[in-house]
Chains A and B, each alone.
Chain A
Amino acid sequence: MAKHATPLLDQLESGPWPSFVSDMKQQAEVRAKNVENIEFQIPQDAVEDLLGILELSFADGTTHWKHGGIVGVFGYGGGVIGRYCDQPQKFPGVAHFHTMRVNQPGGKYYTAEYLRKLCDLWDFRGSGITNMHGSTGDIIFLGTTTPQLEEIFYELTHTHNQDLGGSGSNLRTPADCIGSSRCEYACYDTQDLCYTLTQEYQDELHRPAFPYKFKFKFDGCPNCCVASIARSDCSFIGTWKDDIKIDQEAVQAYIGGEFPPNGGAHSGRDWGPFDIQKEVNDLCPTKCMWMEGGKLKIDNKECTRCMHCINVMPRALRIGDDRGLSILVGAKAPILDGAQMGSLLVPFISAEAPYDEIKEVIESIWDWWMEEGKNRERLGELIKRQGFQKLLAATNIKAVAQHVLEPRSNPYIFWNEDEVEGGWDRDINEYRKHHQR
């Protein structure tokens, strides 16, 4: 018999999609039976109370979680989010129910052996409820009490060689796409760059010294599977400079219907026979592709590397060999001054270990933002407030036409004095000799 009746949540057990309610109920039952004889360090019925408080929210349409208090582990300013419920008498099992962020491995690859160890720890010292994964990328441990925080951190670091992730005004846990580990589109090793920078900036990740949060995300190609361009202050998107490699025989195989276009992604209905002109050449945003003498031609100089032709014909077209990445900065969600997408700062930079050039760009951005940024001002907002030119000056990057979609349509240029011949100091009396009042 469940501790709390949950008539509303129960209605989310039906339907085909995996039911989080059913999962929580099975977890509540496993804890109640406790066949492993675990000496639970937080209330055994925590999941029952979690279901109960969620049911209350479904009934009254409001949350029952209070603001976080200041809890954490010694020496870190992030990785733990304090959470208390506002009905502790009714739901004592979740009265204190803090979150811990555990820094996920690159590409979110795991072994069963490792995941099970984390489960053992979390069953013993927490609720056994997780997010796989949180929005930023961490493994989220959902629900433990204050005395357990140091214990969990101690076990993570001593037994599992595993650190916490970021929260608060610091570098948030960086996240990457699957990259070259299993994707032929990857223009650089996203996992290696993500790991290298995560290790390099551990201090920034654990000890808040920034005006606000700062996110890195790593996309191996312009398809942007981790959405770095929309949700990271510093977005690394793989690209290349030379020619798309063409296998003309494979092009013919696509035209002949031997290979399915787009890897078979459109197999759910009959779109008719593949038409390279209509489906590739005409959809190319720069119209830099055409058929000539039975061969596919690409004017690579005009290509903007949108990936469409490569996505449609992956067996015929491959990314170039002169690879690196573009850096775009300042993306953020709408709060406060409206949503922003990342803006192109570095059109091309090499992405080879030890990535010193990339680190230089990052650190010059941070220096400027930490100096000029207001409390709780994201990088994108600072760029808007002070202007893109200030960012260029701070990073010592020369303005190029690639930085803009179009040049400005107003002439209100803030000239610097040293850009104007003779400077700004002038003699009014000298002027009046030639211009009467």
Chain B
Amino acid sequence: MAFVSSGYNPDKPMENRITDIGPKKFDQFYPPVIAKNKGKWLYHEYLKPGVLVHVAESGDKVFTVRCGGARLMSTTHIREICEIAEKHCGGHLRFTTRNNIEFMVDSQDKVEPLVKDLESRKFAGGSFKFPVGGTGAGISNIVHTQGWIHCHTPATDASGTVKATMDEVFADFQNHRMPAHLRISMACCLNMCGAVHCSDIAILGYHRKPPMLDHEYLDKMCEIPLAIAACPTAAIKPSKVEVNGEKVNSVAVKNERCMFCGNCYTMCPSMPLSDKEGDGIVLMVGGKVSNRISMPKFSKVVVAFQPNNTPRWPEMTTVIKKIIEVYAGDANKYERLGEWAERIGWERFFDKCELPFTHHLIDDFRDPAYYTWRQSSQFKF
């Protein structure tokens, strides 16, 4: 493995340096039918789950075949995507915000061969490489974060929980039977680089044990004032501790004030939280980002904790399936999960979904908590 230089000269880093050029400009990647009809689209329809047609003023049509993908993707897989794009789509493709892959063709007769090709491709382990679906009133791909594959703060895995969940709800990735579209999101800690707090169903990794304190190294590894300032509940204070007969500067944590957010660990590597029994999953439901009919909503916690039962998190997928089935059977057409829960009342939501209600689900975090208690004599038995 000999080092091969790109041409970069480490002795003269500024020599021929190119910076601040930004991304490639979007329009150089447009398929011709998109470039021609941009801004002049009339309407779109779903021909079947996973297949869309957009019709332009010019009469041109673009047919889009959407398929799912794991966002954790190898170059081998990307090369296969490229090969498909070249075989069917003049070398053009795109990805969606929800990690789906879209192949576009400019006439209907090209659709079926493309769909057939996509659905014929499987991994050695047997799973589809390019399942077609993810449109309309169904369940699209899950947006998610990094998890155990590459992050330092996760309380669960991302790719694993997503694979386990999508396998369970796969039929609805390829169907339009839901009352409205249903969005599932996953974040492996409450930093939520995936921002799952406004999803129909949110899978969230959460810690339940306060940080351990690596006193011997803490002052060497961390800026103690930053670690203290990082705590949203002021649970951390400076302290002096004796380690191996020597007084060292460190911190003390008031455990009963800890809300397990891990913000201290982000600032100070000598305060790790992760723990096999402590870490697990919170399930939240009823959020949305669309302004359609009702305003955007936050997701609400309906299951306070489920264990990291790898590799398939069966307790978690069972509850998710149950919520989806009850919603699908009970909600009105166009009604999002959160709109349905509000219409029937959350007390009824817990009944119907057969979920236990525990004290963990009552908000006690700062002022907004009050607005979630019931200031009314109206409730359902």
B58 within 8 A of A: no
Which residues of the other chain, B, contact A132 by a CB distance below 8 angstroms?
69, 71, 73, 78, 95, 99
B148 within 8 A of A: yes
In contact, A108 and B136 (Cβ under 8 angstroms): no
Q: Tell which of A59-67, A289-297, A363-371, A422-430 binds the partner.
A: A59-67
Tell which of A68, A206, A269, A376 touches B20, judged by Cβ atoms closer than 8 Å.
Answer: A206
B181 within 8 A of A: yes
B70 to chain A, nearest CB (A): 4
B176 within 8 A of A: yes
Q: Tell which of A50-58, A351-359, A411-419 binds the partner.
A: A50-58
Which residues of the other chain, B, contact A153 by a CB distance below 8 angstroms?
8
In contact, B192 and A335 (Cβ under 8 angstroms): yes
B304 to chain A, nearest CB (A): 15
A96 within 8 A of B: no
B285 within 8 A of A: no
**Which of chain A's residues 333-349 have a Cβ closer than 8 Å to chain B?**
333-339, 341
Which residues of the other chain, A, contact B42 by a CB distance below 8 angstroms?
184, 315
In contact, A39 and B21 (Cβ under 8 angstroms): no
A239 to chain B, nearest CB (A): 9
B243 within 8 A of A: no
In contact, A230 and B334 (Cβ under 8 angstroms): no
Give A15 to B173 CA distance when docked, in angstroms: 13
Give A118 to B276 CA distance when docked, in angstroms: 38
A399 within 8 A of B: no
In contact, A229 and B26 (Cβ under 8 angstroms): no
Tell which of B17, B23, B68 touches A75, judged by Cβ atoms closer than 8 Å.
Answer: B17
**Which of chain B's residues 107-152 have a Cβ closer than 8 Å to chain A?**
123-131, 135-138, 143-146, 148-152
In contact, A15 and B76 (Cβ under 8 angstroms): no
A252 within 8 A of B: no
Q: What residue of chain A has the Cβ atom nearest to residue B56's Cβ?
A: A184
B80 to chain A, nearest CB (A): 10
In contact, B8 and A285 (Cβ under 8 angstroms): no
Which residues of the other chain, A, contact B68 by a CB distance below 8 angstroms?
17-18
Give A62 to B94 CA distance when docked, in angstroms: 35
Which residues of the other chain, B, contact A155 by a CB distance below 8 angstroms?
6
Which residues of the other chain, A, contact B217 by a CB distance below 8 angstroms?
none
In contact, A133 and B47 (Cβ under 8 angstroms): no
Q: What residue of chain A has the Cβ atom nearest to residue B309's Cβ?
A: A61
Tell which of A111, A177, A230, A306 touches B198, judged by Cβ atoms closer than 8 Å.
Answer: A230
A91 within 8 A of B: no
**A314-B43 contact, Cβ under 8 Å, with A17-B128, A23-B76, A114-B29:** yes
**A311-B94 contact, Cβ under 8 Å, with A227-B195, A266-B137:** no
In contact, B176 and A267 (Cβ under 8 angstroms): yes
In contact, A112 and B83 (Cβ under 8 angstroms): yes
Give A339 to B199 CA distance when docked, in angstroms: 13
**Which of chain A's residues 90-116 have a Cβ closer than 8 Å to chain B?**
97, 99, 103-116
In contact, B148 and A54 (Cβ under 8 angstroms): yes
In contact, A198 and B22 (Cβ under 8 angstroms): yes
In contact, B41 and A17 (Cβ under 8 angstroms): no
B120 to chain A, nearest CB (A): 14
**Which of chain B's residues 13-66 have a Cβ closer than 8 Å to chain A?**
13-14, 16-31, 34, 38-39, 41-49, 54, 62, 64
Give A237 to B290 CA distance when docked, in angstroms: 11
A135 within 8 A of B: yes
B7 within 8 A of A: yes
**A230-B289 contact, Cβ under 8 Å, with A122-B75, A268-B138:** yes
Q: Tell which of B85-93, B245-253, B340-348, B351-359 binds the partner.
A: B85-93
Q: What residue of chain B has the Cβ atom nearest to residue A11's Cβ?
A: B311
**A198-B149 contact, Cβ under 8 Å, with A227-B198, A306-B293:** no
In contact, B48 and A267 (Cβ under 8 angstroms): yes
Interface string of A136-174 (1 = CB under 8 A from B): 100000110001001111110110011101000000010
In contact, B181 and A14 (Cβ under 8 angstroms): no
Tell which of B69, B291, B293 touches A224, judged by Cβ atoms closer than 8 Å.
Answer: B291
A248 to chain B, nearest CB (A): 16
In contact, A222 and B48 (Cβ under 8 angstroms): no
In contact, A41 and B97 (Cβ under 8 angstroms): no
Q: What residue of chain A has the Cβ atom nearest to residue B191's Cβ?
A: A335
**Which of chain A's residues 389-432 have a Cβ closer than 8 Å to chain B?**
none
In contact, B19 and A62 (Cβ under 8 angstroms): no
In contact, A107 and B197 (Cβ under 8 angstroms): no
In contact, A279 and B91 (Cβ under 8 angstroms): no
B170 within 8 A of A: yes
A283 within 8 A of B: yes
Give A158 to B17 CA distance when docked, in angstroms: 8
In contact, B8 and A18 (Cβ under 8 angstroms): no
Give A262 to B181 CA distance when docked, in angstroms: 11
A350 within 8 A of B: no
Give A265 to B48 CA distance when docked, in angstroms: 9
In contact, A23 and B82 (Cβ under 8 angstroms): no
Give A40 to B75 CA distance when docked, in angstroms: 14
Which residues of the other chain, A, contact B34 by a CB distance below 8 angstroms?
109, 181-182
**A151-B8 contact, Cβ under 8 Å, with A12-B160, A131-B71:** yes
Since A150-B10, A157-B21 are in contact, a sample of 5 more A-B pairs with Cβ atoms closer than 8 Å, ordered by chain A residue number, is A19-B125, A54-B149, A186-B39, A266-B176, A308-B334
- Closest A-B pairs by Cβ, 6 of them: A13-B125, A265-B136, A106-B26, A268-B177, A15-B167, A268-B176
User: Can you offer 27 A-B residue contacts whose CB atoms are under 8 A?
Assistant: A11-B311, A11-B312, A17-B166, A17-B170, A19-B125, A22-B124, A62-B276, A64-B148, A66-B152, A97-B150, A103-B23, A132-B78, A143-B150, A154-B7, A165-B23, A183-B41, A183-B44, A183-B54, A206-B20, A227-B97, A230-B198, A230-B287, A264-B47, A264-B176, A333-B193, A334-B192, A335-B263
